[in-house]
Structure 1
């Protein structure tokens, strides 16, 4: 499958791009001008785009779109809104308009019901808005909500769903593996899935 990945050069996105490539898919890494593409597998197709100003045809030729981008923990609330909320919504709209089959969203634990007192309240509200926009879009979707991320690869020993400990950890390699599985797994279709690594 042709799979467009927003955030392909990020810590999770780079792992995801490699895993999709190794699985025989055709990943298309969405990159910004100046992105460090050295983290991507050799020969992977790239597509230059900016989530704050997306071209109408950004999803052209993609069977699946995965949103694994993020504004980062140190950005302003304005940039969080531009990338994590408005950028995600714009990508969903373009995916819908271009006949994409499925949209996979990397969200976050707590985005379903953001705690206004949380340090991450603004980020979670932005993620919540994007998730709700995706659910209402009519696209096939998978929304993945991992607990706190670590930089480890993990061993694919996972807990999914209601038994997830909100205080647990999710290794980025494990998260990437579930995102990769979500592109064509019917068990995950139109589901919101919480995840932690064991």
Structure 2
């Protein structure tokens, strides 16, 4: 289990998963700081009592790591941007975050990756540039020496979370999905459990509690 003195930096805290996660961490009494791009995004979080720091992922954002010993990278360039942003955010910013984490002695780095990142040739999809970027970001984290957990959720949906997941891939393509809320809950659980360090896990809606699904991996 994690130390009570853990402070978690959430990179991409204004995104859909990030927002759920920081609110969940805050509600449980955990120390959390949300990294966001501008003052308007910061205000929405500070209004509900969440500590924020402003930083540009395309620039230097090392200041956000101050006093943080856990980091979650759940930032993404988004589907409406071009390949330039995919490289700059999903690959290069992730790489910089790993470097900052190593420099600042971060003890747990949770990377939110994606289905198909292990082998970007696996699926015939327009998302291939994104998968390639995430593929190399994941490899960089694995080789960095920073203690990590990599979570690769299936297709993200906005239905209410069930708290029930599986880490083995379903055979039906229609079942390759998971609510964002459940991904946030899985991240939260991973942050609290050192036994998940060094693991790369796919996530889908399932029939087991997060506790049961993750503990069966030991």
> If the TM-score is normalised by the length of the shorter chain, which range does it land in?
over 0.9
Structure 2 match to 1:22:
27
Give the Cα separation in 1 of the matches to 2:115 and 2:191. Answer: 20
Contact (CA 8 Å) 1:57, 1:94: kept in 2 or not? no
Structure 1 match to 2:3:
none
Per the TM alignment, residue 194 of structure 1 is displaced from its structure 2 partner at its CA by: 0.3
Q: Report the count of equivalent residues.
A: 197
Q: 149-158 or 7-16, which moves further after superposition?
A: 149-158
Structure 2 match to 1:111:
117
| Cα distance change of structure 1 residues 93 and 73 upon mapping to structure 2, 3 Å threshold | same
Partner of 1:36, secondary structure, is helix
TM-score (norm. length: structure 2): 0.85
Q: 3-12 or 38-47, which moves further after superposition?
A: 38-47
Is 1:169–2:172 an aligned residue pair?
Answer: no
Give the Cα separation in 2 of the matches to 1:55 and 1:77. Answer: 22
Deviant stretches of 4+, over 3 Å: 163-166
Contact (CA 8 Å) 2:109, 2:149: kept in 1 or not? yes
Structure 2 match to 1:36:
41
Structure (1/2) with the larger helix percentage: 2
Contact (CA 8 Å) 1:4, 1:29: kept in 2 or not? yes
- Pick aligned residue for 2:104 from 98, 107, 110: 98
Structure 2 match to 1:192:
200
- Pick aligned residue for 1:131 from 126, 138, 142: 138
Give the Cα separation in 1 of the matches to 2:191 and 2:170. Answer: 22
Is 1:2–2:26 an aligned residue pair?
Answer: no
Contact (CA 8 Å) 1:11, 1:151: kept in 2 or not? no
Structure 2 match to 1:183:
191
Per the TM alignment, residue 60 of structure 1 is displaced from its structure 2 partner at its CA by: 1.2
Deviations 1:144-170 (A, max 9, x none): 00000001231111111x344573211
Partner of 1:154, secondary structure, is coil
RMSD value over aligned CA atoms?
A: 1.7
* Unaligned ranges ≥5, structure 2: 1-5, 207-218
Contact (CA 8 Å) 1:64, 1:183: kept in 2 or not? yes
Partner of 1:58, secondary structure, is helix
Partner of 1:57, secondary structure, is helix
